Amino acid sequence: MSEEYLPYGKDKVGKAIWECLKRMFKEAEPSGDIEKIAKSGEGKMPNFFMGYLLSSDREAEIIEEVCKEFKIKSWDKRSLSNTLWMGSAPTSTKERWKEEREDYDKRLKDFLKERKVGGKRK
């Protein structure tokens, strides 16, 4: 995917949210590439983010790092944090993650198969 793919907008906060997600999924267990997740359709699977684990402490550190790099103001930082934690950031609950990972690959395969109709996605 190109740099043009910015689902949270092309403004500074939107770019920072996307950068946070890239770093979070890269460090998650299992490691993921959020751009590939979005492109493949996996990101449209309900609760796909529950299949990736990253501690809430590390998520907070990544948010701090990115906000500093992007020079995000404190009021925008709160909005950015809420967007990530209420949206698609990896889960930080190990028990729930274990449940999700049990048959994640099969559910993903089935989900992607269901979405294809005549070679096109629904």
Distances (CA, A) of 71 to 5, 13, 66: 21, 9, 8
Q: Domain limits of the chain?
A: 12-115
Instruction: State the pLDDT at residue 120.
Output: 53
Report yes or no: 17 and 89 within 8 Å, Cβ to Cβ.
no
pTM of the model: 0.87
d(CA 48, CA 106): 13
Q: What is the pLDDT of residues 38-72, one digit of tens each?
A: 989 999 999 999 999 999 999 999 999 999 999 99
Provide the pLDDT for residue 9. Answer: 83
Across the chain, mean pLDDT equals 90
Q: How far apart are CA 60 and CA 56, in angstroms?
A: 6
